[in-house]
């Protein structure tokens, strides 16, 4: 009888330990990362997902949305992120609406650029700037079309303003399509040595794959150089302070972004993200606070 009592006590103690300890701890609520069609956002989101899940044991879900809903989602959620806020121009209107409801974690990379691009074989003496697109022979060779991306993209809004600013309304249509459809149209035109103007941005793998150039923008309608920031729900700093601190340390060079994008175009976003993590353990250590910071190396 005494032995049975000891066994029961041991069972009760073990159960109490499980209930009070980590074995039965409630799993963390997932962190949601909103992802739009920008390729750099895709790869950076997959990198963040892998780092958060492996380093902090917190599940992460990626949710594909347009840019506007991404900003609104971060503003309204308690545990969410968006890693491609192009500022100050491209996504400025979205940021103006929700800026007081989100936490700007700072710059992920600098030197981003928007513009309209043409294949390098298009003669510069005929088409060097957006202003040249008014020429009747240029309108004819371009078929009165500017190949764009998705309707809700900030680049499309800026492009519509650019069409108006240069008085191209009567001569051109801005074609709405996915980013993949835009690059497919670009490839077809290049294969046939046809003229084409596409809404473009850097970084993007198409600059590595095709010989392109930006058209000059003498009126500055498409804006100057931009920076790409990460934004988070305001509650994330309190609910996940370690993840929040890691995200504030996260930063890429343009060379790293370009390499990932080219890798992703040849494989997949997931594989490109994993390749980056495996190639740059020192970068990941810096982000997670386990390595030497950039400031201390300078």
244 and 102 both lie in a single domain: yes
The b/e string for 159-179 (b: 16+ C-beta within 10 A; e otherwise) is beebbeebebeebbebeebeb
Rounded CA-CA distance 153/173 in Å is: 16
236 and 103 both lie in a single domain: yes
User: In this predicted structure, what is the pLDDT of residue 82?
Assistant: 98
Nearest to 87 by CA among 117, 108, 63, 101: 108
Give the domain range for residue 93.
28-111+225-297
231 and 144 both lie in a single domain: no
179 and 55 both lie in a single domain: no
Identify whether 220 is part of a domain.
Answer: no
> pLDDT tens digit string along 270-282?
999 999 999 999 9
> Using an 8 Å Cβ cutoff, are 41 and 153 in contact?
no
Q: What is the mean pLDDT of residues 229-247?
A: 97
Identify whether 278 is part of a domain.
Answer: yes
- Residue 179 makes CB contacts below 8 A (sequence gap 6+) with 37, 38, 39, 149, 150
Identify whether 275 is part of a domain.
Answer: yes
Identify whether 16 is part of a domain.
Answer: no
> Using an 8 Å Cβ cutoff, are 74 and 80 in contact?
yes
Total domain count for the chain?
2
118 and 176 both lie in a single domain: yes
User: In this predicted structure, what is the pLDDT of residue 223?
Assistant: 74
81 and 155 both lie in a single domain: no
48 and 67 both lie in a single domain: yes
Rounded CA-CA distance 137/116 in Å is: 18
47 and 58 both lie in a single domain: yes
User: In this predicted structure, what is the pLDDT of residue 294?
Assistant: 46
119 and 96 both lie in a single domain: no
User: In this predicted structure, what is the pLDDT of residue 111?
Assistant: 81
Choosing from 163, 184, 214, the residue where a domain stops is: 214
118 and 107 both lie in a single domain: no
The b/e string for 70-80 (b: 16+ C-beta within 10 A; e otherwise) is bbbbbbebebb
CATH of the domain at 205: 3.40.190.100
> pLDDT tens digit string along 48-93?
999 999 999 999 999 999 999 999 999 999 999 999 999 988 899 9
Average pLDDT over the chain, rounded to whole?
A: 89
Geometric angle at alpha carbon 210, from 275 and 170, rounded to 5°: 125
Choosing from 214, 241, 266, the residue where a domain stops is: 214
> Using an 8 Å Cβ cutoff, are 80 and 32 in contact?
yes
> Using an 8 Å Cβ cutoff, are 34 and 65 in contact?
yes
205 and 235 both lie in a single domain: no
209 and 118 both lie in a single domain: yes
Identify whether 98 is part of a domain.
Answer: yes
User: In this predicted structure, what is the pLDDT of residue 226?
Assistant: 86
CATH of the domain at 237: 3.40.190.10
Choosing from 162, 191, 214, the residue where a domain stops is: 214
Identify whether 240 is part of a domain.
Answer: yes
Identify whether 206 is part of a domain.
Answer: yes
Identify whether 15 is part of a domain.
Answer: no
């Amino acid at each position: 009888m005494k032995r049975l009592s000891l066994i029961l006590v041991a069972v009760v103690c073990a159960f109490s330990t499980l209930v009070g300890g980590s074995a039965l701890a409630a799993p963390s609520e997932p962190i949601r990362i909103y992802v739009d069609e920008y390729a750099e956002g895709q790869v950076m989101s997959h990198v963040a997902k892998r780092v958060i899940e492996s380093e902090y044991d917190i599940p992460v879900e990626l949710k594909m949305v347009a840019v506007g809903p991404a900003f609104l989602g971060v503003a309204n959620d308690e545990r969410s992120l968006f890693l491609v806020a192009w500022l100050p121009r491209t996504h400025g209107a979205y940021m103006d609406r929700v800026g007081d409801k989100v936490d700007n974690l700072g710059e992920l990379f600098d030197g981003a650029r928007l513009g309209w691009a043409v294949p390098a074989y298009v003669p510069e003496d005929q088409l060097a700037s957006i202003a040249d697109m008014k020429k009747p022979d240029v309108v004819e060779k371009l078929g009165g079309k500017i190949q764009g991306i998705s309707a809700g993209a900030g680049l499309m809004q800026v492009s519509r303003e650019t069409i108006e600013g240069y008085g191209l309304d009567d001569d051109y249509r801005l074609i709405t399509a996915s980013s993949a459809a835009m690059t497919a149209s670009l490839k077809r035109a290049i294969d046939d040595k046809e003229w084409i103007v596409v809404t473009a941005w850097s970084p993007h793998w198409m600059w590595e794959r095709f010989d392109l150039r930006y058209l000059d923008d003498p009126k500055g309608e498409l804006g100057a150089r931009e920076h790409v920031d990460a934004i988070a729900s305001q509650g994330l700093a309190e609910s996940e302070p370690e993840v929040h601190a890691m995200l504030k340390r996260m930063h890429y060079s343009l060379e790293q972004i370009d390499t990932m994008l080219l890798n992703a175009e040849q494989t997949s976003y997931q594989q490109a993200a994993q390749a980056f993590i495996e190639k740059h353990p020192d970068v990941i250590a810096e982000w997670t606070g386990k390595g030497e910071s950039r400031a201390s190396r300078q």
